[in-house]
């Protein structure tokens, strides 16, 4: 793969108001599989799937483009407040067939933030349908990330993301996940950490008042934890606690779902089914905006039986083009057996990364499920002390990897539980030789950044 002459293109005259006050962003003009080309013709291998596992099947798929074009010629838009469309109906049936047996209803939105907010509205309607209007409080994990809209930000358990907008958000309660790298559960046995963390959830429900708690929202595996995989017994206990206290369990699978972790839903790894499961990103492989909320029968029938509904839908909910893309991407996932491939490539990637960078003095942990992998960096392996924010590993590692022909995102977390961590989330279609090349490039980049 050609090495770029410069990590950026000149866009100083851009009229785009960028997410952060910086200029000279690369201008990406083409995607081919999981390779990207910038406006200077330089190519980089995308190890982030665009962002957070979105471009999961690779770019430039002619069958996806054909599905989009065909649907646009037939029916481009119709709002689903009073009518439906065949693509929405077909895709909902396909997702329900992939979900647990008692999950047979789906609502569509345009993205993960919308899906997480929709789950709040569904939760509210469920408790109103049962004449429990005081059950409105939400509990979430800290750290966690649930999206950029106000309701999703309110659920997000990361102050570095939520803090500036706190005046606009409701106050969700927080509990700590049973991560064991540092924090209150450091080095406990997995089941002991799980039991203590589940006990904290029960304590918070009791403290808030069981009659007021509506839902517990979780990520099965989270970039905000550095992708640590917690013991399955935690999710079993959480499911039991939610049932006993009449609290809905909402799984935010926007990043972890759609095959990223080797199953359609990451919760399948743990043998637990949520009441509401929110998916996005990989559902359309980045080709069109689409997200989905999977609703179990108990919740759906309760709302319907009371004559209630969830009428506040977004403009592009169930959009026929988005759903047509979702159907084609699902066909690709099934025909190319990408769920199995994600598991196998994930095992290969974890083994290769461990062999290549595992002994590096600043690599604290490599962890994940399927092709959702996190690499956390430390100042010291012995103490697990996180890096000083001023070291700015996110930018430095980005630049080093870009110079070698790779796009790789590293995030700084202002959390006592997790420090700087790389999100290693390539396309599910990635080949083993490219995973090996990426690991070698990361090893060399770490040597450059840390001066080894």
**Would you say residue 286 lies in a domain?**
yes
Asked whether residue 256 falls in the same domain as residue 352, the answer is no
| 38 shares its domain with 98 | no
Consecutive H or E run containing 45: strand 43-46
Q: Would you say residue 2 lies in a domain?
A: no
User: Looking at the structure, do residues 375 and 296 belong to the same domain, yes or no?
Assistant: no
For residue 315, CA distances in Å to 118, 141, 310 come to: 13, 30, 14
Choosing from 305, 335, 365, the residue where a domain stops is: 335
- Alpha-carbon distances, residue 223 vs 253, 256, 362 (angstroms): 12, 10, 19
User: In this structure, is residue 417 part of a structural domain?
Assistant: yes
Q: CB burial class (10 A; 0-12, 13-18, 19+) of residue 308?
A: middle
Each residue's pLDDT expressed in tens, for the chain with a length of 452 residues:
444 444 444 456 788 888 887 667 899 999 999 999 999 999 999 999 999 899 999 999 999 999 999 999 999 999 999 999 999 999 999 999 999 999 999 999 999 999 999 999 999 999 999 999 999 999 999 999 999 999 999 999 999 899 999 999 998 999 999 999 999 999 999 999 999 999 999 999 999 999 999 999 999 999 999 999 999 999 999 999 999 999 999 999 999 999 999 999 999 999 999 999 999 999 999 999 999 999 999 999 999 999 999 987 799 999 999 999 999 999 999 999 999 999 999 999 999 999 999 999 999 999 999 999 999 999 999 999 999 999 999 999 999 999 999 999 999 887 889 999 999 999 999 999 999 999 999 999 999 999 96
Residues 161 and 44 grouped into a single domain: no
Q: What is the pTM of this model?
A: 0.95
Measure the CA–CA gap between 250 and 277, rounded to whole angstroms. 6
Domain match, 329 and 351 both: no
The verdict on 81 and 188 lying in the same domain is: yes
- Measure the CA–CA gap between 273 and 239, rounded to whole angstroms: 8
Note whether 176 and 112 are same-domain residues: yes
Is 56 part of a structural domain of the chain?
A: yes
Residue 272 belongs to what domain range?
Answer: 64-335
Taking each helix axis as running N to C, give the angle between helix 320-335 and helix 338-357, from 0 to 180 degrees, rounded to the nearest 10. Answer: 70
Q: What is the CATH number for 289?
A: 3.40.640.10
Same structural domain, 42 and 144? no
| 249 in the same domain as 126 | yes
User: What's the CA dihedral at 268, 270, 272, 274 to 10 degrees?
Assistant: -70
- Rounded distance between C-alpha atoms, residue 365 and residue 425, angstroms: 16
Question: Does residue 88 fall inside a structural domain?
Answer: yes
Domain boundary among 303, 335, 367: 335
Q: Is residue 163 part of a domain?
A: yes
Q: Do residues 68 and 119 share a domain? A: yes
How many domains are contained in the chain?
A: 2
Does residue 10 lie in a domain region? no
Q: Are 120 and 264 contained in the same domain?
A: yes
> φ and ψ at 407, to 5 degrees?
-105, 120
Same domain, 174 and 130: yes
CATH of the domain at 384: 3.90.1150.10
What is the per-residue DSSP string for 142-176?
Answer: SS----SSHHHHHH---HHHHGGGGGGS---EEE-
Element (H, E) at 43: strand 43-46
Bridge partners (DSSP) listed for residue 175: 141
Is 248 domain-assigned?
A: yes
Listed residues 335, 352, 387: the one ending a domain? 335
């Amino acid at each position: 793969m050609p090495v770029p002459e410069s990590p950026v293109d000149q866009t100083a005259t851009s009229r785009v108001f960028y997410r952060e006050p910086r200029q000279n962003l690369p201008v990406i003009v083409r995607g081919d599989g999981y390779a990207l080309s910038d406006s200077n013709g330089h190519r980089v291998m995308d190890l982030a799937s665009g962002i957070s596992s979105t471009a999961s099947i690779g770019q430039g798929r002619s069958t996806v483009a054909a599905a989009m074009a065909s649907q646009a010629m037939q029916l481009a838009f119709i709002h689903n407040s009073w009518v439906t469309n065949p693509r929405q109906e077909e895709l909902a049936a396909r997702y329900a067939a992939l979900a647990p047996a008692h999950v047979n209803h789906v609502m569509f939105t345009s993205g993960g933030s919308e899906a997480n907010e929709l789950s709040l509205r569904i939760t509210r309607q469920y408790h109103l349908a049962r004449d429990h209007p005081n059950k409105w409080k939400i509990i979430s994990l800290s750290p966690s990330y649930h999206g950029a809209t106000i309701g999703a930000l309110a659920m997000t358990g990361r102050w570095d993301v939520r803090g500036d907008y706190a005046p606009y958000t409701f106050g969700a309660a927080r509990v700590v996940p049973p991560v064991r790298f540092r924090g209150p559960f450091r080095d406990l046995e997995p089941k002991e950490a799980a039991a203590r963390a589940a006990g904290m959830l029960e304590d918070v429900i009791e403290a808030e008042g069981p009659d007021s708690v509506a839902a517990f929202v979780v990520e099965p595996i989270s970039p905000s934890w550095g992708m640590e995989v917690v013991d399955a017994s935690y999710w079993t206990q959480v499911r039991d606690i939610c049932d006993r206290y009449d609290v809905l369990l909402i799984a935010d699978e926007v990043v972890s779902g759609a095959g990223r972790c080797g199953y359609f839903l990451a919760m399948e790894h743990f043998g637990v089914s949520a009441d509401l499961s929110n998916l996005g990103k990989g559902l359309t492989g980045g080709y069109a905006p689409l997200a989905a909320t999977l609703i179990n029968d108990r919740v759906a029938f309760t709302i319907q039986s009371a004559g209630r509904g969830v009428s506040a839908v977004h403009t592009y909910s169930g959009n026929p083009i988005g759903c047509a893309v979702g159907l084609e991407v699902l066909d690709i996932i099934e025909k190319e057996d990408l769920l199995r491939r994600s598991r196998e490539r994930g095992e290969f990637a974890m083994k290769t990364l461990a062999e290549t960078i595992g002994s590096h003095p600043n690599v604290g942990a490599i962890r994940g499920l399927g092709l959702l992998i996190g690499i956390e960096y430390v100042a010291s392996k012995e103490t697990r002390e996180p890096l000083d924010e001023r070291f700015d590993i996110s930018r430095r590692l980005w630049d080093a990897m870009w110079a070698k022909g790779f796009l790789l995102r590293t995030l700084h977390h202002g959390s006592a539980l997790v420090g700087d961590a790389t999100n290693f989330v390539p396309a599910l279609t990635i080949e083993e030789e490219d995973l090996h090349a990426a690991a070698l490039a990361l090893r060399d980049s770490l040597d450059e950044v840390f001066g080894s």
